[in-house]
Amino acid sequence: MQHRTASAAVLGITALTLAILPGCSPSSPARTTTSSSDSAAPRTDGNGRGDAVLSSPELAVRLLDENDLVTGYTRKPDRPSGGDADVTVLGCPALDDLGADAATGSGGGLDFPRSAKTAFTYTGSGEVTEELYSDAAIKLSDGTGRIFDAMTGCPAYQVLAGSTPVDIATQEAPAPRLGDERWSHLLTFSSGGAETVVKQTAIRDGSVLLIVSGSPALVDRHLDTALAKATATG
């Protein structure tokens, strides 16, 4: 069977893997999380319109910064685009097919055009990444839901990041009852004898999707603050 190059959704998972496993090159923050979700109809204002969709610059100012975090955090520099290795999915046809769909422009990845992201390292050990997306609530739900369903059906699989094999196992984790929809997983990455556990939690609140990923304790510590800033009004 010929495996197709994965979408940005799968690239994001592997990017985080390469950033935290010893001997691998860092990359951009992760883009996907998985678990069951609690659905809710898109909220509307008094005129019956859905929540306003935010632009990428508007999302950027809602990201966490050093002032929102305690001491010991250092922002990671942005990487130039176009430097990520090709990623091939092995052992999960659903994710493989999803990547192909996204690559042909028929959707499937978390490539919403309005987005912003940041990442921090923590001197106490670990790192945390944050990504914000904005679109119509139904689009956010459908786009992320397709990926979540695919990953739920593949609790263990492998990806090849260039020539580097990475084994991935997923386990659903409790998600805090925040926003309109929420998802959370623990992902165990194994490569070259090293093993790292990453927590990824996503919250959709109206037309904003927040994803916080990284060391489990850091994700839990900063999720509430990240959501409050991401959804602040006025």
We report the CATH number of the domain holding residue 207 as: 3.40.1000.70
Q: Quick check: is 48 in a domain?
A: no
- Per-residue pLDDT, 99: 60
* Number of helices followed by number of strands (H, E) in the chain: 5, 9
Structural domain includes residue 1: no
Each residue of 45-88: pLDDT tens digit? 333 334 789 999 999 999 999 999 988 999 998 765 554 556 77
Name the more confident of 124 and 201. 201
Q: Which residue has the higher pLDDT, 207 or 93?
A: 207
Measured CA to CA, the distance from residue 167 to residue 159 in angstroms comes to: 7
Q: Is residue 23 part of a domain?
A: yes
Q: What is the dihedral of CA 89, 185, 166, 194, to 10 degrees?
A: 180
CA distances from 50 to 3, 47, 143, 184, 211 (A): 39, 9, 17, 25, 21
141 domain residue, yes or no:
yes
The predicted pLDDT at position 217 comes to 93
**Residue 162 carries which side chain, given as an amino acid letter?**
G
Residue 232 burial by Cβ neighbours in a 10 Å radius (0-12, 13-18, 19+): exposed
Mean pLDDT of 29-38: 35
Count the domains in the chain: 1
Please determine, for residue 205, whether its predicted confidence score (pLDDT) is greater than 90. Answer: yes
Residue 212 has pLDDT above 60, yes or no: yes
Q: Which residue has the higher pLDDT, 97 or 184?
A: 184
Domain membership flag for residue 46: no
Which domain covers residue 103, as residue numbers? Answer: 8-37+53-77+84-230
Neighbour order of strands in the sheet with 127-134: 73-75, 115-122, 127-134, 208-214, 194-205, 181-191, 164-172, 156-161, 87-90
pLDDT of residue 234: 62
Residues 116-164: pLDDT tens digits? 999 999 997 889 999 999 999 999 988 777 777 777 778 898 888 778 8
DSSP sequence for 207-218: TEEEEEEESHHH
Which pLDDT score, from 0 to 100, does residue 16 have?
52
In this structure, which amino acid lies at residue 63?
Answer: L
Residue 43 lies in a domain: no
The answer to whether the beta carbons of residues 182 and 202 sit under 8 Å apart is yes
Quote the pTM value.
0.77
C-alpha dihedral sign at 159, 10, 64, 141: negative
